[in-house]
């Protein structure tokens, strides 16, 4: 059993910052990748940022230069630092953790609302 606990969502004004956290616990042998996705109302879920075991990161074009994904391997935790937020960033944000043997686990989602 693996559980992902998300935190850090909330309401912020445009131009503000927010940091999301996702801590994995349970029967985890090794984490191969971590990622953040988001889904806005009426839209499909999209990949926002990812980080693999080597530390390499990737970002959606819409968030490059504003968002930073990072990890704390000792704590099995992934973070998403979001700066210069805009109303277009409003969505439910989900973390995902991948482990060997194609196993993936999802967080429950946390709402991020950016007001103008």
Give per-residue pLDDT as tens, 89-101.
999 999 999 999 9
Residues counted in the chain: 116
Work out the pLDDT band at 29, boundaries 50, 70, 90: confident
Name the one residue in this structure whose structure tokens are 């503000």.
16
pLDDT at 60: 98
Q: Is the pLDDT of residue 28 over 90?
A: no
Q: For residue 112, what pLDDT is reported? A: 98
Q: Give residue-wise pLDDT tens across range 67-78.
A: 999 999 899 999
Task: Please state, in angstroms and as integers, the Cα–Cα distance from residue 103 to each residue in 1, 19, 27, 72, 115, following that order.
Answer: 11, 26, 12, 20, 36
pLDDT at 42 over 90: yes
d(CA 64, CA 75): 26
């Amino acid at each position: 059993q693996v559980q992902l606990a998300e935190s850090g969502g909330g309401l912020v004004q445009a131009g503000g910052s927010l940091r999301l956290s996702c801590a994995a616990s349970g029967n985890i042998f090794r984490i191969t990748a971590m990622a953040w996705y988001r889904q806005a109302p009426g839209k499909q879920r999209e990949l926002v940022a990812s980080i693999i075991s080597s530390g390499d990161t990737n970002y959606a074009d819409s968030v490059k230069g504003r968002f930073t994904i990072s990890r704390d391997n000792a704590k099995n935790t992934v973070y998403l630092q979001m700066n210069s937020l805009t109303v277009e960033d409003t969505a439910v944000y989900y973390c995902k953790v991948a482990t060997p043997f194609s196993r993936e686990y999802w967080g429950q989602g946390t709402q991020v609302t950016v007001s103008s």
